[in-house]
Copies of this chain bind each other. A is one copy, B any other.
Amino acid sequence: MKRRTSEVLEWARTLVEPALKAATGRLSPELGLAARYHFGWVDSRGAPLPEGRHGKGVRPTLALLSAEAAGAPAEVALPGAVAVELVHNFSLVHDDIVDNDAERRHRATVWKVFGVGDAIIVGDAMMGLAFELLLEESTPARSGAARDLVQATMAMIAGQYMDMSFNRRDTVGVAECWEMVSAKTGALLAYASAVGAILADAPPRTVEALRRFGQELGLCFQAVDDLLGIWGEPSVTGKPAGNDLRERKKSLPVAVALSSGTRAGETLADLYAQEHLDDEDIARAATLVEEAGGRAATAEAARDCMHRAAQALTAADLEQQPAEELLDLASFVVNREF
């Protein structure tokens, strides 16, 4: 019988967290401290945190379910689940430096606590650990999983760089914005959704269907994230209201608004060109994005992606229960706060 998403996430955590802790334990005590701090298991001095959590663990959960969807035990996916979580978190640690973000999940970021040098090195080490885990057994499935992970990682890095370069420009097209999202968020979620099947030696058709599901989920995830970046509740997102606007991010709703050809879009462009934005400007910018159709178009795109994600799961002969759980997890991710 199908489990609720909260149960699935908890089940995945029970399987993945010990393996993730063991992997992190390979780092030297000092370097490992920064990693364990980032994962929310300990405070900055290494004292265990009660209920230490590091986010929802969507990616490793996708990895475990993808093995089950391919008819294999979840445990087959474990090295892939840990590797994808390490790569995701390495990118967060480095991104927080790049974006100069002082907080993540209501806690000071790694570079803020341990310094930029330590944060760079612990991020490098987390990326290396991910490949170490996959490569320490030399089966063709493991090599394939490592090869696909490096490709997803390279796509993610390229996407992060595109995102960053958007900040240096006045305007960004909607198509290139989607291209960036597809690389930055889609590639790693596609990998997470397929790695269990890859490690289970599932047929290419099965792997590809799961990969497509993850790719669409990634686009959807980012669309929602972009909506939350403007209209999310600070108490929920852990970031100030309208944070993406304050940073003049060229997120999807903003890209749509800027290229809408509407009066509201033009006014938004003028506002974005201003030297300083105060709280009133930010509230006004949010209204302008909405008037220019940015909010509605992004929400619709999110629904379309979700629809295609669901379709992908019917395109291959997947085990029914894990496939349904994958879809529920996708809905959970997408319906976070709207």
Contacts from A to B (Cβ < 8 Å): 26-28, 30-31, 94, 97-99, 116-118, 120-121, 123-125, 127-129, 131-132, 135-136, 138, 140, 142-144, 146-147, 150-151, 153-154, 157-158, 160-162, 164-165
Q: Is A146 a contact of B131 with CB atoms below 8 Å?
A: yes
Interface SS of chain A: helix
Q: Is A143 a contact of B132 with CB atoms below 8 Å?
A: no
A267 CB → nearest B CB, Å: 30
Q: Is A124 a contact of B127 with CB atoms below 8 Å?
A: yes
Q: Is B146 a contact of A121 with CB atoms below 8 Å?
A: no
CA gap between A194 and B125 in the complex, in Å:
23
Q: With A121-B164, A138-B144, A146-B146 as given contacts, are A128 and B116 in contact (CB-CB < 8 Å)?
A: no
Q: Is B124 a contact of A157 with CB atoms below 8 Å?
A: yes
Within 8 Å by CB of A161, from B30, B127, B151, B165, lies B30
Find chain B residues with CB under 8 A from A132 CB.
147, 150-151, 154
Q: Is B128 a contact of A150 with CB atoms below 8 Å?
A: yes
A203 CB → nearest B CB, Å: 17
Q: Is B128 a contact of A153 with CB atoms below 8 Å?
A: yes
Q: Is B121 a contact of A120 with CB atoms below 8 Å?
A: no
Find chain B residues with CB under 8 A from A31 CB.
157-158, 161
A138 CB → nearest B CB, Å: 5
Q: With A146-B146, A147-B136 as given contacts, are A164 and B120 in contact (CB-CB < 8 Å)?
A: no
Find chain B residues with CB under 8 A from A30 CB.
161, 165
CA gap between A135 and B331 in the complex, in Å:
35
Q: Is A138 a contact of B128 with CB atoms below 8 Å?
A: no
Which A-B residue pairs are the 9 nearest by beta carbons?
Answer: A98-B117, A135-B147, A143-B143, A131-B150, A132-B150, A128-B154, A125-B157, A31-B161, A138-B143
CA gap between A128 and B204 in the complex, in Å:
25
Seed contacts A28-B162, A124-B124; 11 additional CB < 8 Å A-B pairs: A31-B161, A99-B117, A118-B161, A120-B120, A120-B123, A121-B161, A128-B154, A132-B154, A135-B146, A136-B147, A138-B143
